Chain A
């Protein structure tokens, strides 16, 4: 494995971590929207505020990290992606700005009315942002980026729409599982049961969409399909098993373990995608080796990744431990 492959692997690991951690954050938007009026929905919104408050920014930084690794390690493919997928990127950017500020403002909003507006902005943008991120992934994975198609809507192909729907569904599912556990821990069993049902529903729907998606990929994204059924198949099988186990554990009330299984399932899908798309950085058009930047930079990036592992991982573990043991509060 050369330096370019190693940088691509680090980048893909960051994509996976972003999907898992920020995915759970984004997914809370749906449950926030569906929680009902101000009074009825208050316990849910409090739970979401408590769960997200200390972690959402740290979870968000994975995206920044992916972007900088992409433009440092693969400058030309990065420019191609930004040129051809500008519109969904702007929509993601809009979503991120609205979500972050909506979340920060609603907690300290002066009036309930203002909190409602901020809350809707937060929840609505949380719901749509993963969709556009998914369309971006779909456009790259289906071989449309870098192919010289001069079309503004390559991000609305069948694979992109599938990617968007799956991303949104996965986020909702992850969030429901995480929030169920959070509600249990804070002793609100009514809310926990409500969320448990939502986790089961969103998990089943997302699972079914993925099954149906196989047909879409076979037609619309042949290279990815071949990869998923070939090199990436072990991960996909792990994902299916872990996904089913999540359901069983949820039903049986092993919520903490369900959380672990759900993370495994989503992480495995993401890694499966990575393996399936190897050795392409832009599927069918640019390989990792051809798209890579200067070797001196690649080596330096690996050093930076090592520094990041030493400095960031322990800090993140500390943050999550404190959250998990209820040592951080409003």
Chain B
């Protein structure tokens, strides 16, 4: 018994890191799977109406989506394995509570994979209109897949749909588990994040091209179409995030205390930017000169009481600084991006024809891809690390869920190496695709294709 306990202790750190790396990698790819079909739909629609540049761009993006989707699918499979391999204690107790959501998510993936296969390989063979409408089931399944996976995650934050009697999980209601209290906001926040990540990444790539002098219509469309998507969701995202924060004030007050770096329960809590939590208070931070702003943001009243970390014993508190930094980075970037799209929106209505002739704006665009990815990752760190030491909030501790396998350090190192290799190779392939497009190739001939094999092997 002591031996297994020790082993479990040993596995906890690498298991958490491995989960963080595999989720952090998968989520970036997943964003493209969720959001690309909608952007493709718009481009395709323009193409159907006779815009051949838009159609060419859609064709390129569909090839890119094919590559990203492939590595998204395999990294997702690893996650499905990891739920059992790393966290058997979670799955054996709660597998049948959250299983329905996972199963419905599986159906969404199925539809997405099938229609993606048809769409990506249907160019030039299927009737144009039919081809375009294959994107509709992909848009819907991207949304439903996100909903169901987010319902599992939000259930971990707001567990419902079961009772625990004498240590046994009983009276399970899988539908109640899906429609838990946290799902609506977390789902919207993640869905918007996915659209932001995919859209801003495309905006970035084409802005860099523009700045380097590739000022053709394809690049213009490559900036404007995704920018339109980003411009719609980015200003809403901070509002949704704000309500998500208010919801945690009620549901997970200790997470909120970590976000604010508050050790004692207080009223009229200020907002402190930056700084470092030393165990009792935040030092070296900048206090926003509006008294009680923290209370107001969390509870809609400047003198509302906010629960402090010390409301629970030390072993029930999450690591404060990681959570605080992550949260502030997310909010900082989110605010910055919202200001940027607001500026771009005004500029669009005033100077439509010279819209892109603003180097500073394009430089800012070039950073939005990385920025939105960082915002999303730090958002996840806030949520997940802020929930510690619980994997299921107030129900199951992470250390009781982890495997006792002795192999976790090996799989952590192995996975890290394989993922670095996969992302590097993926980046190389995408770069080469874009270079070949720039060089005027339209159908990217595979290296084994008749046109290239001769020139290469002689």
B297 at the interface (CB under 8 A from A): no
A104-141: which have CB < 8 Å to B? 104-112, 114-115, 118
Q: Is the pair A79, B95 in contact by a Cβ cutoff of 8 Å?
A: yes
Q: With A71-B83, A93-B77 in contact, do A86 and B426 touch (Cβ < 8 Å)?
A: no
Q: Is the pair B448, A93 in contact by a Cβ cutoff of 8 Å?
A: no
A251 at the interface (CB under 8 A from B): no
A30 at the interface (CB under 8 A from B): no
Q: Which residues of B contact A (CB under 8 A)?
A: 63, 66-67, 69-71, 73-78, 80-81, 83-85, 88-89, 91-100, 102-107, 109-111, 113-118, 120-126, 137, 169-170, 172-175, 403-405, 407, 411, 414, 418, 422, 425-426, 428-429, 431-433, 435-436, 443-444, 446-450, 452-453, 456-457
**Least Cβ–Cβ distance between B119 and chain A, in angstroms:** 9
Contacting residues, chain A, for B67 (C-beta < 8 A): 104-105, 108
User: Which of A297, A311, A329: most chain B Cβ within 10 A?
Assistant: A297
In this complex, what residue of B is CB-closest to A310? B107
Q: Is the pair A83, B88 in contact by a Cβ cutoff of 8 Å?
A: yes
Contacting residues, chain B, for A69 (C-beta < 8 A): 99, 103
* Alpha-carbon gap, A58 to B115, bound state (A): 9
Q: With A101-B425, A296-B172 in contact, do A60 and B77 touch (Cβ < 8 Å)?
A: yes
Contacting residues, chain B, for A293 (C-beta < 8 A): 95-96, 99, 172
Q: Is the pair A103, B70 in contact by a Cβ cutoff of 8 Å?
A: yes
Contacting residues, chain B, for A106 (C-beta < 8 A): 446-447
User: Which of B91, B99, B431: most chain A Cβ within 10 A?
Assistant: B99
Q: Which of A46-54, A212-220, A271-279, A280-288 contacts B (4 or more CB under 8 A)?
A: A46-54
A231 at the interface (CB under 8 A from B): no
**Least Cβ–Cβ distance between A68 and chain B, in angstroms:** 4
A153 at the interface (CB under 8 A from B): no
User: Could you jot down 10 A-B contacts, CB within 8 Å?
Assistant: A96-B77, A97-B418, A103-B70, A108-B67, A115-B448, A294-B174, A304-B100, A315-B137, A327-B126, A328-B122
Contacting residues, chain B, for A55 (C-beta < 8 A): 117
Interface string of A211-235 (1 = CB under 8 A from B): 0000000000000000000000000
Q: How many residues of A sit at the interface, in one of the four size bands?
A: 35 or more
Contacting residues, chain B, for A118 (C-beta < 8 A): 425
Q: Is the pair A49, B448 in contact by a Cβ cutoff of 8 Å?
A: yes
A324 at the interface (CB under 8 A from B): no
**Least Cβ–Cβ distance between B145 and chain A, in angstroms:** 11
Q: Is the pair B453, A93 in contact by a Cβ cutoff of 8 Å?
A: no
Q: Is the pair B84, A64 in contact by a Cβ cutoff of 8 Å?
A: no
Q: Is the pair B457, A294 in contact by a Cβ cutoff of 8 Å?
A: no
Known: A87-B407, A90-B407. 12 other contacts (CB 8 A): A38-B457, A64-B77, A69-B99, A74-B95, A89-B85, A90-B81, A97-B77, A108-B433, A293-B95, A300-B100, A304-B104, A328-B122
A67 at the interface (CB under 8 A from B): yes
Q: Is the pair B93, A75 in contact by a Cβ cutoff of 8 Å?
A: yes
In this complex, what residue of A is CB-closest to B88? A79
Q: Which single member of A54, A72, A81, A318 contacts B99 (CB below 8 Å)?
A: A72
A8-56: which have CB < 8 Å to B? 37-39, 41-42, 45-46, 49, 53-55
Contacting residues, chain B, for A67 (C-beta < 8 A): 80-81, 84
* Alpha-carbon gap, A117 to B450, bound state (A): 19
A312 at the interface (CB under 8 A from B): yes
* Alpha-carbon gap, A83 to B95, bound state (A): 15
Contacting residues, chain A, for B125 (C-beta < 8 A): 327-329
Q: Is the pair A42, B77 in contact by a Cβ cutoff of 8 Å?
A: no
A304-330: which have CB < 8 Å to B? 304, 307-308, 311-312, 315-316, 318-319, 322, 327-330
In this complex, what residue of A is CB-closest to B431? A110
Q: Is the pair A297, B96 in contact by a Cβ cutoff of 8 Å?
A: yes
Q: Is the pair B106, A61 in contact by a Cβ cutoff of 8 Å?
A: yes
Q: Which 5 A-B pairs have the closest CB atoms?
A: A72-B99, A75-B95, A293-B96, A110-B432, A79-B92
Q: Is the pair A108, B103 in contact by a Cβ cutoff of 8 Å?
A: no
Q: Is the pair B453, A57 in contact by a Cβ cutoff of 8 Å?
A: no
Q: Which single member of B66, B78, B414 contacts A104 (CB below 8 Å)?
A: B66
Q: Which single member of B91, B102, B105, B435 contacts A79 (CB below 8 Å)?
A: B91
* Alpha-carbon gap, A82 to B110, bound state (A): 24
* Alpha-carbon gap, A49 to B83, bound state (A): 32
* Alpha-carbon gap, A89 to B103, bound state (A): 20
Contacting residues, chain A, for B456 (C-beta < 8 A): 38, 111-112
Q: Is the pair A57, B452 in contact by a Cβ cutoff of 8 Å?
A: no
Q: Is the pair A97, B81 in contact by a Cβ cutoff of 8 Å?
A: no
**Least Cβ–Cβ distance between A199 and chain B, in angstroms:** 22
* Alpha-carbon gap, A87 to B107, bound state (A): 28
A76 at the interface (CB under 8 A from B): yes
A100 at the interface (CB under 8 A from B): yes
Contacting residues, chain B, for A73 (C-beta < 8 A): 96, 99
Contacting residues, chain B, for A68 (C-beta < 8 A): 80, 99, 102-103, 105-106
* Alpha-carbon gap, A191 to B172, bound state (A): 56
**Least Cβ–Cβ distance between B426 and chain A, in angstroms:** 7
* Alpha-carbon gap, A261 to B85, bound state (A): 37
In this complex, what residue of A is CB-closest to B125? A327
Contacting residues, chain B, for A72 (C-beta < 8 A): 95-96, 98-100, 102-103
Q: Is the pair A58, B446 in contact by a Cβ cutoff of 8 Å?
A: no
Q: Is the pair A53, B121 in contact by a Cβ cutoff of 8 Å?
A: yes
Contacting residues, chain B, for A78 (C-beta < 8 A): 84, 91-92, 95
**Least Cβ–Cβ distance between B445 and chain A, in angstroms:** 9
Q: Is the pair A329, B111 in contact by a Cβ cutoff of 8 Å?
A: no
Q: Is the pair B121, A308 in contact by a Cβ cutoff of 8 Å?
A: no
* Alpha-carbon gap, A115 to B456, bound state (A): 12
Q: Is the pair A42, B453 in contact by a Cβ cutoff of 8 Å?
A: yes
A176 at the interface (CB under 8 A from B): no
A94 at the interface (CB under 8 A from B): yes
Q: Which single member of A42, A53, A58, A300 contacts B110 (CB below 8 Å)?
A: A58
Contacting residues, chain A, for B73 (C-beta < 8 A): 57, 60-61, 100
Q: With A75-B93, A293-B99 in contact, do A93 and B407 touch (Cβ < 8 Å)?
A: no
Q: Is the pair A112, B172 in contact by a Cβ cutoff of 8 Å?
A: no
Contacting residues, chain A, for B89 (C-beta < 8 A): 79
Q: Is the pair A105, B103 in contact by a Cβ cutoff of 8 Å?
A: no
* Alpha-carbon gap, A100 to B411, bound state (A): 19
In this complex, what residue of B is CB-closest to A92? B81
A63 at the interface (CB under 8 A from B): yes
Q: Which single member of A61, A71, A83, A114 contacts B113 (CB below 8 Å)?
A: A61
In this complex, what residue of A is CB-closest to B137? A315
A98 at the interface (CB under 8 A from B): yes
Contacting residues, chain A, for B169 (C-beta < 8 A): 294
* Alpha-carbon gap, A79 to B449, bound state (A): 46
Q: With A39-B453, A86-B403 in contact, do A104 and B70 touch (Cβ < 8 Å)?
A: yes
Q: Which single member of A64, A65, A297 contacts B174 (CB below 8 Å)?
A: A297
Q: With A60-B113, A73-B99, A101-B74 in contact, do A82 and B94 touch (Cβ < 8 Å)?
A: no
Q: Is the pair A94, B92 in contact by a Cβ cutoff of 8 Å?
A: no
Q: With A60-B113, A75-B92, A79-B91 in contact, do A108 and B453 touch (Cβ < 8 Å)?
A: no
In this complex, what residue of B is CB-closest to A72? B99
